[in-house]
Each structure stands twice: as structure tokens, then as C-alpha cells.
Structure 1
């Protein structure tokens, strides 16, 4: 398998980052959904948010690298059986998912640093607050974070369903290309 993308297929770096981000996004969403229901006396009350914030910061780093990789390494051409609508919808969905991931991560960062404190990433390093104390910022950022993450998960779910539709109904290589198992040579 190629490291870089080719005109007909994705490279191993793109594929690995795609699936890493997908797992992180759905994992963070599940963890976030679960942890908001924890009580003060729950054993995970402090641990779950620390994990959520740490993985979120690491995801931000991966997404910056992924965006740089994407800009330096264009995606393969669309498959010949894809309609103009499908190509436009796919490009629009990908762009919106990038925007939503960054909005979710930035708003999550602003929630956690609204009181001026930094974020400890698994005790490996600290990410300082760039805003200092801003009264009420966590409420606004929380609302943005809530809706951005829901929109992201719904859109990512539709993205996955579209890939399954291409695989099972259209019987094309759309999903295989992102699994690194397409039938055509790179």
C-alpha cells in the first residue's frame, strides 16, 4: 500500500488518520454523553472529564496534522459511477465535518479554560488558557459544543451510511478505498 494518496486510491496515512479520527469522535461523543449524567459522588465524576479533555486535545493535534496532510496530498479522483450530485454532496459533507470537528474542539477547549485554568493532557503536558477568566464563556461555549457535536455525529453517521450504500447497493469501491482494499491497483 502507498503512503501517499494516488489518483485512484487513498494512502495508508490518510486511511489511518480517517479511522483514528472516526473512533475518537464517536468515543468522545459517547464519553461526553455518559459523563454529563454523573453525580458528584460517582467515581468517574472527575476522571471522565479529564479523559475527555485529554483525548480532545490529542484529537485537535491529529486534526491539524490531518488538515496539513490533506492540503499537501490531494484526494483521489471520484469514481466514474458517482453522479455530480454525489461528488458535490461528498465534498460538502467532508468540508462540514472538518468545520464541525474544529468547532467542537475549540468550544470544548473554551468550556474547560473559561475560568483561566489550563488543561492537563494525561499529565504529559499542559495547554494553557488563552482567554483568561471570562464570565459566562463556558455557558456559550457549552451550547456551541453541544450542538456542534450532535451535528458532527449525525453527519458522520450519514457519511457512514452513504459508504455502506455505495458498498452494498452500488457495489463500487468507495468503502474499499478507505479500507485500503480496493480492487484496482494504486
Structure 2
């Protein structure tokens, strides 16, 4: 006798992403874009702005959470099957390389942000929930050097995110495959 209950697909399958991967993907995508916009906006604030201290606090806190979420995502990805890439082998290799590069950029942004934030030997408070301690004595021009690196990495990541979006839309609109649809909700295997 068949059960009429519908199970929620939390994990990935060979043809579809599960809800955990989907939620991790979109929460990171939204957070990364928001951090980029907030970063651009906050560097233009003057000392007398009401957001002069609050915007960097929010930026740092969300940044730490994004890096921690990226680490969770990497662990999750190693324990899950990877849905087959739709398209040629070359496109699959490009997609895989782009994903790894985005993951690396997020981690490097976290490191450079840490160096900016701890340049005055102050820990990073994450929404006053917990602190990331200063692990070593700051070096000369740490905030300036790390700030320049952080900016380059941020623009590189947002550029790659833009290319990722264009590729997803190309798959959806031009190729007509399930690449984008399967990152919106789990897709049942049509052979079942």
C-alpha cells in the first residue's frame, strides 16, 4: 500500500538540490549582495552620520555569519551528492571552478575583514552575541593593506556573482534546462 504522505527533500540527489542546499545558497547570495551594497554605502559616511558606527558593526557581524555559513555549506556539500551539471563537460568544469572560486573569495574576504577589524587590537563583536578575539599583534598599515585587499576581493566576488547569475539565466531562458529551477525547489526525478 502506498503512503500519501509527501516527504520533504532535505538532502541532494543526483538530479536535484535539497532544501538545505537551496536555503544555504539563497541566504548566502542575498547576504553577499547586501554586504557589498552596505560596504559601498558605508565608506561614504562621514563621522557625524548616525550610521557611522552602526553600519560597520552590522557589516562585520553579517560578514562573520556569512563566513561561518560558508563553512557549514562546504561541510554540507562534502556530505551530499552533487546534482549532475546540465550542459557540456567544459561547462561543468567552468561551473565547478566558478563555485570553488566564489567559496574561496568569501573566505578570503572574511580574513581580510578580520584584519581590518582587528587592526586596533579590538575583538569583533557579532551582534553582541559573541566576539572573535584578536589573535596576534597588528602589523604596520594593517587596516590600509587589508582594506585594499578587501575591496579588490569584494569587487571580484560581486563580478563572479554577476557572471553566475547570467549563466543561470542563460541555462533557463536559452537552453531551457532545469539548472535554475532546481536551485529554487527540489525537483522530483521524472523516472520515479
State TM-score, norm by structure 1. 0.94
Structure with the largest fraction of helix = 1
Structure 2 residues without counterparts, runs of 5 or longer: 1-7
Structure 1 residues without counterparts, runs of 5 or longer: none
Aligned to 1:163: 168
Contact 1:54-1:121 at 8 Å conserved across structures: yes
Aligned residues: 184
Aligned to 1:133: 138
Contact 1:114-1:131 at 8 Å conserved across structures: no
Q: Deviations over 1:29-50 (max 9, x none)?
A: 0000000000001110000000
Aligned to 2:128: 123
| Change in CA separation of 1:183 and 1:163 when aligned onto 2, cut-off 3 Å | farther
**Cα separation, 2, equivalents of 1:132 and 1:114:** 8
Give RMSD over aligned pairs. Answer: 1.3
Q: Deviations over 1:47-76 (max 9, x none)?
A: 000000000111111111111111111311
**Cα separation, 2, equivalents of 1:133 and 1:96:** 28
State the 1:180 CA deviation.
1.1
Aligned to 1:55: 62
State TM-score, norm by structure 2. 0.92
What does residue range 68-107 of structure 1 map to in structure 2 within 5 Å? 68-79=75-86, 82-107=87-112
Which of the two has higher C-alpha Rg?
A: 2
**Cα separation, 2, equivalents of 1:170 and 1:137:** 47
